[in-house]
Amino acid sequence: KTELKKSLNKLKSDTLAQVDWAGTNYEWSEKVESTLKTTFKNNTFRPKQLSAINSTLSRQHTIVVMPTGAGKSLCYQLPALVEQGLTIVISPLVSLMEDQVRSLKNKDIPAMLMTSTSPKEETNAALNALRDKNSGIKLLYVTPERLAKSKRFMANLQKCFSNGRLQRIAIDEVHCCSHWGHDFRPDYKYLGILSNMFPGIPILGLTATATAHVINDVQKILNIQGCLIIKSTFNRPNLFYKILEKPTSNDECLNILENLLKRRYKDESGIIYTNSIKDAEDIANGLRKVGLKVGCYHAHMEAEARSKVHMKWHEKTYQAIVATVAFGMGIDKPDVRFVIHHTISKSMENYYQESGRAGRDGLRAECVTLYRMQDIFKVSAMVFSSVDSMDFLYGMVKYCLNGHLCRRELIAKHFDEDWGDSDCNKMCDVCVSGIGNTKEINLESHCQTLANILDNASKQDTKLTAQKLLDAWFLKGPVPLRHKGKEPSFSRIFAEDVIAYLLVDGYLTEDFHYTAYSTIVYLKKGPNMEVVYDKTFTLKMPVRKYTKFEIDKAAPKQLCDHEVTKSVKRPSSTEKKNNKKSKLIIIDD
Ligand code: ADP
Ligand code: MG
Ligand code: ZN
C-alpha cells in the first residue's frame, strides 16, 4: 500500500512538473511583472523564479530547489505583495532574517520579525499584527522554535487564518526538516502540523539541497507528498574547476599560494579554505610575511573580530580570507574570483557550497583544490565518527583522483543531474586536457604487492600508516616490512594515487586509533582485497593528467576561448552549440 502511495505521489509530482509554470497569462501576471520592476527594481526574473511564483500563487504546495545565491527569497517576497493578507516566513537564522526584514523595510514593505530573543514590545507587535484585521503587515518572519514552542503565537496564527488573512507559509532552508540534510534542526519537525492545521494554505519550501532523498523526506515530514518540485540546474558555467598537486612541504605549499595571489589572481578577491584553525592561522601569517594582505577567519574568533575581517575583505583591504568552513553563511560578495581549497572538503556537497561562493556575478572565476593523498587522512580523522561521512569524503577523493571524466559530470551526479562535457565548455581541467585519450594502467600486481606488505606487517604485529605502506613499497624504512619484489619505477605521487584509488574502491580500508592527543589512521586490507589473487581479477585505473596551469600569469578573463575552434570543426552541431552558448549566460537549462 505504501509503495502504491509512493508511486502515486511521484506521478502527481511528475505530472505537475510537466506544466509550464513560467506563463504570463495568469490573472496576477501583470501585477507580478510590475512589482518586480517597481518594488524590487529588477528587470527580469532569474531562471525558475517566475515558475515558483506562479505555482505558489496558484495555491499549489511547492518546493523550490535552487543553488545558493540564485534568488529564492524573491519567490515568497514578491507573491506576498501581489495578494491580500500576510505571508509567514520560517527561517532558522536570525541574522539572515534581520537582513531581509531590513532590506524589505528599505523598500517600504511592511515586514516584521519574531524570534525567541526579540524584545517584548516587538513580540507583542507581531502577535497583534496576526490578530488585527487592519494591520498592513505583509511578511512576518519567525524562527521554527518560536512556532513550535509558543502557544500564544499559534493561537494568534489560528485567528489570522480564520479571518482569512493567512496567505501562505514559506519555509526557508527547508532541508533542515530532514535528518538526511547536512544541517538538521529538531524544531523543524513540528512544521509537519501546518498543512493539516491550515487547509488550503499553500506551503512553499525553499532549499539549496537537491538530493532526492532529502526532498522526499521533506515532503513526508511536511505532509505535502506529491507537491510540485521546481528545481533549477546546479551547474555554474562560469566556474573553472581545477585540481592542483599539493606539495608535501608547508613552505612549497605557501609558495604556490603566494604565486597564485601575487600573479594569477593579482588584485582579485578570493577565499582560501583550510580544515583547521591552526592551518588557517599559519597560512595567513605565512602570506602576510611575504607582503600579502589577507585576513584570517574561524569559529574561535569573537563575532566582532569576524565581522571586521569580513568587512575588510569586502572593501578589498584584504585580497583574500584564509578560513575554516566557519566562513560561509551570509557571504554575499559578488566578485569573488577564486576559491582555493588548501585541504579537500569533507564531501562533494560541502565542496559545491564552498567553491560556489566564487563568481556570483556570473563572470569567470576559478575553483582550485590542492590535493595530496595525505589530506584524506587529515579529514577522515575528523569526520569518521558520523554516519555516512566516509562515503561522502570518498566521493570528494574520487573527484580529486579523477582524470578522465569532466569534473562537472561528477558534481552533477551528486545533484541527481546529468551534465556532460557539453555543459562544461572546457571550463574544467579535465576537459581542457581532452577527454577520451586517457591512459589506463593495470593495478592487479600492485594490489598483490600491497596485500603482501600488509599481510607481512600484520604477522609482525605492526600497523602501517599510508606513509609507512608507501615506504615499504618503495623499499624504504624498516627492512622486515619491505616486500621481496623490485622497487617501483614510477613516482611516489603516482603510488599515492594508486593507494587512494584502492581506498575509495574498498581494496584498502582505514583503521582509526586514538591517542590522548590525536587520531592515527592506519591502512588495512579492505573487503575487495580478497579477490586479488584470483586468476580472473582485473582492475584498471585511469591515469590522471597533469594539465598546464600557469600560476604566475594572470587568470583568463573570458569565460571560454575554445568555443570558436569547436564550431569550425563540427558545423553540424550548430543547434547544439547555440544551446550551449545560452547556457553560458543563464544559470538554467
Ligand atoms: P538564495 O536565497 O537563493 O541564496 P537570495 O534570495 O538571497 O538567494 O538572492 C541572492 C541575491 O540575488 C540577492 O542579492 C537578490 O537581491 C538577488 N536577486 C534575486 N532575484 C533577482 C533578480 N530577478 N534579478 C536580479 N537580482 C536578483
Ligand atoms: Mg536564502
Ligand atoms: Zn569539464
DSSP codes joined into one string, 12-30: HHHHHHHS-TT-S-STTHH
CA distances from 132 to 82, 124, 135, 137, 310 (A): 20, 12, 5, 10, 41
Residues 280-310: b if buried by 16+ CB within 10 A, e if exposed: bebbbebbeeeebebbbbbeebeeeebeebb
Taking the CA of 547 as reference, the closest ligand is: 3
Nearest CA to ligand 1 atom 20: 71
pLDDT of residue 182: 65
pLDDT of residue 558: 83
Do the beta carbons of residue 66 and residue 208 sit within 8 Å? Answer: yes
pLDDT of residue 181: 66
SS3 243: strand
pLDDT of residue 165: 96
> Rounded to two decimals, what is the model's pTM?
0.81
Enclosing H/E stretch for 306: helix 303-314
Minimum-distance ligand 1 atom for the alpha carbon of 44: 23
Q: How far apart are CA 530 and CA 585, in angstroms?
A: 50
Distance in Å, CA 66 to ligand 2 centroid: 9
Distance in Å, CA 74 to ligand 1 centroid: 7
Q: 42 CB under 6 A from ligand 1? A: yes
User: In the numeric block, which cell numbers belong to residue 523?
Assistant: 591502512
Q: How far apart are CA 99 and CA 104, in angstroms?
A: 9
Distance in Å, CA 172 to ligand 2 centroid: 7
Nearest CA to ligand 1 atom 24: 42
The count of C-alpha atoms lying within 13 angstroms of the C-alpha of 65, restricted to the half-sphere facing its C-beta, is 22
Q: 73 CB under 6 A from ligand 1? A: yes
Distance in Å, CA 44 to ligand 1 centroid: 11
DSSP codes joined into one string, 410-467: HHHHHTT----GGGTTT-BHHHHH-TT---EEE-HHHHHHHHHHHHHHHHTT--B-HH
pLDDT of residue 570: 31
Task: Give the pairing type, strands 440-442 and 508-514.
Answer: unpaired
Q: 100 CB under 6 A from ligand 1? A: no
Going by the DSSP 8-state scheme, the letter that residue 359 receives in this structure is -
Q: 39 CB under 6 A from ligand 1? A: no
Per-residue pLDDT of the chain (589 residues; tens, 9 = 90+): 788 888 888 888 888 888 899 999 999 999 999 999 999 999 999 989 999 999 999 999 999 999 888 899 999 999 999 999 999 999 988 888 998 999 999 999 999 999 888 899 999 999 999 999 999 999 999 999 888 788 999 999 999 999 999 999 999 999 999 887 667 788 888 899 999 999 999 999 999 887 888 899 999 999 999 999 999 888 999 999 999 999 999 999 999 999 999 999 999 999 999 999 999 999 999 999 999 999 999 999 998 999 899 999 999 999 999 999 988 876 878 899 999 999 999 999 889 989 999 998 889 999 999 999 999 999 999 988 877 889 999 999 999 999 889 999 999 988 878 886 778 999 999 998 887 677 899 999 999 999 999 999 999 999 999 999 999 999 999 999 999 999 999 999 999 999 999 999 999 999 999 988 889 999 999 999 999 989 999 999 998 877 778 888 999 988 865 433 333 333 333 333 333 332 222 222 2
Q: 76 CB under 6 A from ligand 1? A: no
Q: How far apart are CA 342 and CA 353, in angstroms?
A: 16
504 CB neighbour count, 10 Å cutoff: 20
Q: 45 CB under 6 A from ligand 1? A: yes
pLDDT of residue 539: 96
Q: 66 CB under 6 A from ligand 1? A: yes
CA distances from 539 to 330, 365, 411, 506, 507 (A): 45, 37, 24, 12, 11
Give residues whose Cβ lies within 5 Å of ion ligand 2. 72
Q: 53 CB under 6 A from ligand 1? A: no
- Give the CA angle between residues 70, 72, 74 to the nearest 5°: 110
pLDDT of residue 194: 95
Q: 71 CB under 6 A from ligand 1? A: yes
Q: 74 CB under 6 A from ligand 1? A: yes
ipTM: 0.98
